[in-house]
Structure 1
């Protein structure tokens, strides 16, 4: 697995399981992580063993969001049948997608800022696997989705459930408060399309050190590649677009809580909860 990331002061990085080097040392022609997304989708990122730079342990790096600017932020609701049942919702026959504004996004470490109780007093956290697009595309077949996906990262998604329960048409507002999506520190880029068995991975929502919900990606109603293909038939997808693919379960939050989204083999992201 390779990784694309940025330091807190915006320097792009390329990494592997042994550490990170400056992206410029590995590929001088790439000035940003965004520039590297097409090569990630193509599977042509440099091999770090060939880079004349010493790796830095990620524990010694302060990470910003991996992209200075993301594209479209998509979310997929009710994508695990068990979670839909918990919410007394029927299984959707097509992806139940929605969009979030760029202002809702914050980087690893958060914090997650709960809105005033007068607006909502029922915010939940949901761990999810996110897909990052690497190439502009339209009408992509599911079998070809790996050719346009740059990689994956963990995210924490939030919902003001009390607002949503008042009326399902309030979904956009319930999902759009500042800090209501926390992205992981690095985009995980598989070495090749066969090196990552997505369906075997587990997604966990962890609050205060306790696993609140977990499920395997194989139990998604609409797996990541199908989500990409479906939405590419609706609109042009572009490098940096993000699909947050749904949660195995949501957990209510209170100020002082600590939330983690863990996606096996991909990574994790953590954030404290404040008001």
Structure 2
């Protein structure tokens, strides 16, 4: 398990360092993960300075974070009583959604990958492939008797449609995976982009695309059906967006009654966050 620390230094520069790289033997339950993280924080002397922890989406990670939250709560070191403590890795959620989408065309992608591997297995095939590059796979099949995984014309049409959808996921993953610049303030607008692609795909004329997108949308609703408080606060703290960020994006991400409820929830946490900050930095008391 690798643990990385992210912080802003005294010169207001975003910093990132690997804090530990340790082997956790099986069964790697939440309690072992929690112990390994806490040991690392103790060794660095930062156990009282942790704001939030971001992990992949796995049940053992959920348990680990719950245990850590309980530990930190005892010393009352968590901001907003731990409401902002656990953050699910956004890039991992996007990856899970993409895997769900690709599972719908696993036969096609297997054929395409096998076709590439087949051509690459010998220099003779590569030369032949280069010779007939236009309409290459069907013609290659005609000349190569052992090639039996040729994608059909319909397969290619499906792949192009899937690639158009996944392009948005790729772009969003690139943006929110950056570690040399702040990314949490970009979360709302990027997730809105993803939701728009999924909403459009649900009404696609192609049954195949509709089925694929429905599966991806289920994963989207599972992980982002609830308001992500930390990301919402980060968007508000971006001086270009402020409260307009949640007022604009929430009605597009949530049903109308939930949107207003979530805006109120975020506002409450923001004020709570501010009050704690003032109390911690009030040198007159």
Q: Could you say whether these structures have the same fold, taking a TM-score greater than 0.5 normalized by the shorter chain as the test? A: no
Which structure shows the bigger proportion of residues in strand conformation? Answer: 1
Q: TM-score normalised by the shorter chain: which range applies?
A: under 0.3
Query: Bigger radius of gyration, 1 or 2?
Result: 2
**Under a length normalisation based on structure 1, what TM-score does the superposition of the two structures give?**
0.27
**Under a length normalisation based on structure 2, what TM-score does the superposition of the two structures give?**
0.27
